[in-house]
Amino acid sequence: MTFRRRILLLGGLDAADTSTADVRTIAGGRVQTIGRLPNVFHDGAAVRIGSNVYEFGGGDGIRQLDQILRVDPKTGTAIRVGSLPAPSSDHAATVVAGQAYIVGGYTGQDWLNTIVAWRPGGSARVVARLPTPLRYSAVTAAQGKIIVAGGSLPNGDASRAVYSFDPGSRELRRLGSLPAATTHAGAAVLNNHALVIGGRSARADTPTSRIVAIDPKSGRIRVAGHLPRPVSDAAVTTLGRTVLVAGGRGRATVAGLTSLGAIGSSAPRANHRRARRATKVAANVYAYDGANDLSPKVRGDPPRVYVPNSASNTVDVIDQRTFKIVAHYPVGRLPQHVTPSYDLKTLWVDNDVGNSLTPVSPITGRPKGKPVPVSDPYNLYFTPGGRFAIVVAEREHRLDFRFAHTMKLHRALTVPCSGVDHMDFSANGRFLLASCEFSAEMVKVDVRRERVVSVLRLPRAAAMPQDVKLSPDGKVFYVADMASNGVWEIDRTGRHVIGFIHTGGGAHGLYPSRNAKLLYITNRSEGTISVLNFATRRLVAKWDIGGSPDMGGVSADGKVLWLSGRYNAQVYAISTKNGRVLARISVGYGPHGVCVWPQPGRYSLGHTGILR
């Protein structure tokens, strides 16, 4: 949407394919986040009516929404003002005479063929039906008519059909056909022509640069020009006599801004310029993990530390403020880690030999239901977007993709290595890199296709890779190696070792600081913590704390590093200012994957708290 030479962007998917709640403006090539929506979403639709923007539906990665939000373009504040007839995402919207029209969509179960009308202060109602259900169609208004072009069909194909809908007479007619079947295109109006911009075929990764002009009066449909590069799923709006195309997908996520000049007898002129990124939107994968940058979902959660005692089959809960144990209870056999759920509402205790996950309430600090049976949960992660949980079944040589809310098995992926245990995700979330402790290998898995795409053997035959963490700029995977006594540096593709840094005996756990400048590395065998500077990729400090520092996390304010003392039946609270041990708290036997909660971030990718 545009307001006084500014573009307003609401929600959408980031480079990791994760729903966002940001309200952002683009002005003079500068991107700024001005507010947050009540909830994350993508594939919604937005229109401008008067001095406000209205957003309709969308999906949050788990379900479809029926929301109608009013957003103030000056402050970014949003309130709910209505509901759609059915929860829906993947639809498109436009405005005629102060009334919004929402076309097609998907309820999570059913494809929609509806055209829904809504006016501020009124109720949403179905006013027409398309000949076939459509998702991801290009929709705009020109010469008083609503133009619906292309889209995805229920049979998996893309549509070529172009429809014209007259809001006055409610007449719907077929206007013609696009030059090629197209879906996921943008739409705008310029010089009384409807433009269908970019898009792709029914097959993913087939973006087009084509710009198609449609004259609603004559019915003429023609290719009027091309974008500087192929793109689908872009945000498109009209600004004066210019159409602006922002973001989208090319062969990867696009962050550019393209302006299109007038439509006439010649092709439109395209001017591509790189939009400067907002402060913390893409330069740092930990941008939302800053000190005390807590999601509204967790702001009321008491600050505690959850300790799975592997050898005692119990969990101890520590009050972060008093360093006292406030709860103690039994769980399944061999609890290895405590993992925050993707939606931040549950803490899962991973009972490895017990073949179960114990759900714990972060409000009460105690179990909130019966254990969920799963096979061999040594560790637990979540796919970007939150649809699937990934249970790391170490002894069974598998990564089990399970539906995140039911833990019902979706796919069991056998991995060609031994001792798979820890992982992290690429900056765009398209693949994960997992360590295989007993075969000195790293496995790369395509997250969308749920398949192994490559195996990287580490240079040292006796290597024992452990924890994995991505650098803030997404360029380096750091992998702790307990046998080589340091961390491997692997390039952003996950295919090549680019370096090794000796840190200390038994390098094991990796934890970024809240400002994403430092990486804390636990050297379990020698009782030390090495501190690495992300920018220089060099060690800047080493703290001798004694004991056996293993797994844990950083407090919400960034001032305390909490770690389990694996072989000392203790948990350590360590000052991140100077490495001083603030407390040694006696717990059960074999404390392992400690979870510090709450933590800053929008969602959890698993382990003891990989939040982004």
Local mean pLDDT, 10-residue blocks, the chain (612 residues):
62 63 70 77 86 88 87 86 94 93 93 95 94 95 94 93 94 94 92 91 89 92 88 79 75 54 47 39 76 92 97 97 97 98 97 97 96 97 94 97 95 96 94 97 95 94 95 96 97 94 97 96 97 96 97 97 97 97 97 97 95 93
Distance CA 543, CA 18 (A): 36
Q: What is the pLDDT of residue 192?
A: 86
Return the closest-CA partner of residue 573 out of 299, 329, 586, 363.
Answer: 586
Q: What is the DSSP letter of 396?
A: T
Radius of gyration of the chain (CA): 26
Q: What is the pLDDT of residue 588?
A: 97
CA separation, residue 478 to residues 6, 424, 511 (Å):
40, 10, 10
Q: What is the pLDDT of residue 333?
A: 97
- Can you read off the two tokens belonging to residue 588? 């059960």
Distance CA 116, CA 111 (A): 14
Dihedral, 306, 310, 314, 319 alpha carbons, nearest 10: -20
Q: What is the pLDDT of residue 257?
A: 56
Distance CA 528, CA 518 (A): 16
Distance CA 543, CA 437 (A): 26
Half-sphere exposure of 272 (CA within 13 A, CB side): 11
Distance CA 608, CA 379 (A): 9
Half-sphere exposure of 100 (CA within 13 A, CB side): 28
Strand (E) or helix (H) holding 529: strand 528-533
Return the closest-CA partner of residue 13 out of 294, 292, 430, 345.
Answer: 430
Contact in structure between 599 and 609 (CB atoms under 8 Å): yes
Residue 493: φ, ψ to 5°: -80, -15
- Can you read off the two tokens belonging to residue 251? 């062969």
Contact in structure between 18 and 45 (CB atoms under 8 Å): no
Q: What is the pLDDT of residue 18?
A: 65
How many residues belong to the chain?
Answer: 612
Distance CA 163, CA 113 (A): 12
Q: What is the DSSP letter of 65?
A: -
**Beta-carbon neighbour count of residue 322 at 10 Å?**
9
Domains in the chain and their CATH numbers?
2-274 (2.120.10.80), 304-597 (2.130.10.10)
Residue range 491-501, pLDDT digits in tens: 999 999 999 99
Contact in structure between 190 and 263 (CB atoms under 8 Å): yes
Distance CA 284, CA 516 (A): 8
Q: Beta 45-49 vs 518-523: how paired, if at all?
A: unpaired
Contact in structure between 301 and 319 (CB atoms under 8 Å): no
Distance of CA 387 to the CA centre of its chain: 11
Q: pTM here?
A: 0.59
Distance CA 20, CA 37 (A): 9
Sign of CA dihedral 108, 186, 226, 15: negative
Q: What is the pLDDT of residue 172?
A: 94
Q: What is the pLDDT of residue 346?
A: 97
- Provide the terminal-to-terminal Cα distance of the chain, rounded to the nearest Å: 27
241: three-class secondary structure by DSSP: coil
Distance CA 320, CA 288 (A): 22
Contact in structure between 164 and 172 (CB atoms under 8 Å): yes
Half-sphere exposure of 192 (CA within 13 A, CB side): 9
**Beta-carbon neighbour count of residue 390 at 10 Å?**
26
